[in-house]
Amino acid sequence: MSQFDYDLFVIGAGSGGVRAARIAGGHGAKVAIAEEYRVGGTCVIRGCVPKKLFVYASHFADELEDAAGFGWTVEGARFDWATLRDNVQKEVSRLQGLYGQTLGNAGVTVYNARARFIDPHTLDVGGERVTARKILVATGAVPVTPDFPGAELGFTSNEAFHLEQLPKRILVYGGGYIATEFAGIFHGLGVEVTQAFRASTILRGWDEELRARLQEIYAQKGIHMRGGASIARLDKAEGENGDIIRATMTDGEVIETDAVMYAIGRKPNVEGLGLEAAGVKTAENGAIVVSADSQTSCAHIYAVGDVTDRIQLTPVAIKEGHAFSDTVFGGKHWKADHRLVPSAVFSQPPLASVGLDEDTARNEGHEIRVFRSDFRPMKFTLSGRQERTLCKLVVDANTDRVLGAHMLGPDAPEIIQAIAIAVKLGATKAQFDQTVAVHPTAAEEFVLMR
């Protein structure tokens, strides 16, 4: 009989933790998982899924406007925030139930409680002591909140999905992908949006040309872009139709708004885990330090997903969790590959990328050739929309290997997902050129660039 209650105890039932628990259970391990809020984690409950549904909803404003050029007359169209909000939460609840079923079918015991280390093998789970031979931390990340005066007047993306009313005006504070996505969402839903960010350009780390183009498109859409701007304080004030918020920026500018949303980054969710009691080392930002096999400084404790701050993407956490369970419980040793991971920003239009951008490729010592295609999508020729799509390939001049592919425009994430396979396999520009185009599509530009 085992001296432990479980072979594996997983802390956090997000995408990475659930995958690890399910796979370990499939390998015959006795598994339990603890989740203090709702099974499903950031992606299902307060991230990818509800956000993408909000993105779909916000697209209809442009679609209805574009319909006129195709002969459609749409009268009386109006948007109801409560319907969207509540329908999205119904879908979230449905998915949460499916995640619970997945764990149940794998024989995983679920604790609806917070877990905390007492010692390297013992956890306090909602007041109950539980022991495990192996422990996996998969608690994800949480939004960073500012500490300037009046910060309590704002909210984060966690709360954005549950607003009682849609504000008439909103200040979105941040220049990363969450801020940029929500700026597009709120704008599409009819809110007057200001996006303020500390850098000169949004989306630091993405291809310079594409992010500058997206910022320009946002400004043309009517989103007020405030680069080089930081909030110094927030104050509640009385407006013509009730309370408003006055945001005083560090340069003295005052922005009057009805709501402020913070999206200034995310930090590993390690507070209150008791990692010190287990001898688990963390980095300066709180991230759990792990090996390529997701092993921490304590040999039988592992960590996957955003809490390790390697690549904060749901599919990466899933790969890490799967690799952990196969390796530790299934006798199949493999590691999650963090190279050439495709990613997307569901902005409007969306931006997607895989591999190296121009600056990174040069900094890594590559001599490169850059191919571009800049065009107006066919759909917009009748709708009258002036928005343009930009596609890029970054190619190693010596080997002809495609180092990176980048796109800003409709369907960019769907297209880059397929392109990522070719880039991952080391395809050359010549092989892209040899591929027959599917015409007429935007995707064909990637095999027609000269």
Strands 389-396 and 368-375, sheet pairing? antiparallel
Nearest CA-CA partner of 58 in 151, 178, 181, 222 = 181
Half-sphere exposure of 250 (CA within 13 A, CB side): 10
97 close to 103: Cβ distance less than 8 angstroms:
no
What are 188's two structure tokens? 């599409």
Q: Please, what's the largest Cα pairwise distance for the chain?
A: 74
- Known active-site residue 121: no
Residue that the structure tokens 């921490």 belong to: 296
What does the buried/exposed string (b/e) look like for 198-225 if buried means 16 or more CB atoms within 10 Å of the residue's CB? Answer: beebbbeebbebbbbbbbebbeebebbb
Point out the catalytic residue in the list 121, 300, 333, 439: 439
The set of residues, in sequence order, having a beta carbon less than 8 Å from that of 392 and lying 6+ positions away, is 207, 209, 210, 358, 370, 371, 372, 373, 404, 405, 406, 407
449 close to 391: Cβ distance less than 8 angstroms:
yes
CA-CA-CA-CA torsion for 93, 98, 103, 107, nearest 10 degrees?
Answer: 130
Nearest CA-CA partner of 317 in 176, 143, 137, 52 = 137
Which residue(s) pair with 249 in the sheet?
A: 231
CA distance 140 to 309: 9
**Which residue type does 347 have?**
S
The catalytic residue positions are 439
